[in-house]
Amino acid sequence: MKDVKKNKLLLKILSTVIAIILWTAITYTEDPVITQTITGIDVSLLGEETLNDNGFAIVNRKELPAVSVVIRGKRNSVIDALDKIYATADVSAIKSAGQSEISISYSYPKDKVTIEKIKTNKVPVETEKLISSEIPVKIEVRNREKNDNHIIKSVSETKHITVSGAENTIYKISYARVEIDVSKVSKTSTQNCIYELCSEDGETVPEDNIVKKSSPTIAVKNTVYTKTSLPIKVVIDEEYQDDYDFELKDIEKKTVNVGLDEGANIDHINAVLIPKKNETEYEAKLEIPEGVYLPEEERTVSVTAEILKKTVKEILVTVTPVNEPEETVVMVLPRRRTIKIRTAKDIDDIKVTATVDVSEMRTDEEELPLKIKADDGVEVLGSYTVTVKLKAGE
C-alpha cells in the first residue's frame, strides 16, 4: 500500500515538471500572441512655439494625466514595444485662454503590435495669456563674516532681466535673486551666476510656467577690498542741526569695517541721528562717502542718546590781539564783546575765545573782524568786528 502511494506522488511531481517544461518550450519557441496593458505613459505637448506666438502659455503641464493603452501582438514584439509607445497632444490650434480638451495621438511600432484599447482619448490643457516683464536683479551675499581679510562688493552687471510666461506666474515675480558666497573670494573677478525668480516675500517662484528668460545666468562682478577699520562719529542730521544737539550714552560699536577705493582719504564714518521726541534709542544710518564701500546690511548702528534742544544765548568774551608790532601799544575797542551763540550746553560749560589779527592793519586805526573759536556743539551766530588803534610805545 505504501509503495502505491509513493508511486502516485512521484507521478504527480513528474507530471508537473513535464508541464512546466512544455509550457516554457511553447512560450519561447512558438512566440504566442498576447495582450498587455501599458500604464503611466506621459503625454508630450507639440506646437508650443506656435501657441506662444499666438500669445498663450500652458500652466498645468505637471498636472497632465498619464494615459494607458492595451496592445496586442506576439509576445516578443510586445516586450520590444513596451518602451516605444508615446502619447502626444498638439496645442498649436488653441486660440484663447482657459481649458481646452486636446486629442491625443499615439505612436507605436505598427509593424509589430496593434493597439487593442485606448483608455484616454483627450487631455485637458489649461492656458493663460503670455506676458513679459522686466524684473530687477537683487544680489544676496552669504558668509561675509567668514572672509577675515577682505570686504567684497558684489554688483550685478545687469540691472534687470526680461521674463516671459503665464500672466499669473509673472505677476508673482518681484525680483531675480542671485546668491553669492564670498567666504573664499580673494581677487576681483566676474562670474556668471544661476538665479532664482522670487516673490515679494522672498519665496522662490516655480518656473514651470515660464516660457523664456532673457538670460539663463547673471554676470556678477566681485570687487575685493582690504578690510579697513574706521571710527564711527555720531552726528545730528543736517536738517536738525540748527535746533538740536545730543549727549551720547552708548553705541553698539565704535568702529566699522569698510572697503576703500585706492586714494580715498577717509578718516571716519558718520552715524546720522534724526531726533524724535521723548526717544533715546535710535538706529542711526551710517553715511557712506564717495570712495567707501560698506554692505547694505551693515549700514546702521544702534545708538543710545539724549536729544538736547538748542537755544540762542549771549556770551561776553574778551578780545585778545595777536601778531602785535614791536614797540607799539595796541588798543582794542571794545575789549570785551558780546556775541550770540546757539547751543544746547549750559553757558557756564562753554569755552569761547575771540582774537583780532593786528598784522592785517595798514593804518593806525582800523575796524577788524574777530576770529572766534568755540567748543564743539557751539555755533557762533553772525560776524563781529572791533576797532583797533596803534600807538608808538615809549
Q: In terms of domains, do 49 and 11 share one?
A: yes
Number of structural domains, the chain? 4
* CATH classification of the domain holding 370: 2.170.120.30
Query: Which residues span the domain enclosing 158?
Result: 130-226
pTM, 2 dp: 0.69
CA distance 120 to 249: 77
**One domain for residues 269 and 285:** yes
Give the confidence band of 27 by pLDDT, cuts at 50, 70, 90: low
Mean pLDDT, rounded, for 293-322? 94
Q: What is the CA radius of gyration of the chain?
A: 44
Q: 336-343 and 311-322: which strand pairing? A: antiparallel
Q: Which domain-ending residue is among 71, 95, 128? A: 128
- At 161, list the grid cell: 532681466
Task: Supply the CATH number for residue 211's domain.
Answer: 2.170.120.40
Cα(44)–Cα(21) distance, integer angstroms: 44
Under DSSP, is residue 386 helix (H, G, I), strand (E, B) or coil? strand
Amino acid 120: pLDDT: 83
Same-domain check for residues 16 and 116: yes
Q: What is the pLDDT of residue 25?
A: 57
Average pLDDT, integer, range 325-351: 91
Residue 377: pLDDT band by 50, 70, 90 thresholds?
confident
Q: Are 42 and 123 part of one and the same domain?
A: yes
Q: Which three cell numbers stand for residue 159?
A: 540691472
Final residue belonging to a domain, choices 249, 276, 309: 309
- Answer yes or no: do 14 and 117 share one domain: yes
Stronger pLDDT, 92 or 377, i.e. the higher one = 92
pLDDT category of residue 119 using cuts at 50, 70 and 90: confident
Q: Do 222 and 136 have their domain in common?
A: yes
Q: Which three cell numbers stand for residue 80?
A: 520590444
Residue 209 has pLDDT above 80, yes or no: yes
Bigger pLDDT: 192 or 392?
Answer: 192
Does 261 lie in the same domain as 283? yes
| Same-domain status, 217 and 316 | no
Q: Are residues 71 and 143 in the same domain?
A: no
Mean pLDDT, residues 305-323: 94
Same domain, 91 and 134: no
Residues 139 and 100 in one domain: no
Q: pLDDT value at position 8?
A: 58
Q: Are residues 244 and 134 in the same domain?
A: no
Considering 128, 163, 191, which residue would you say is the last residue of a domain?
128
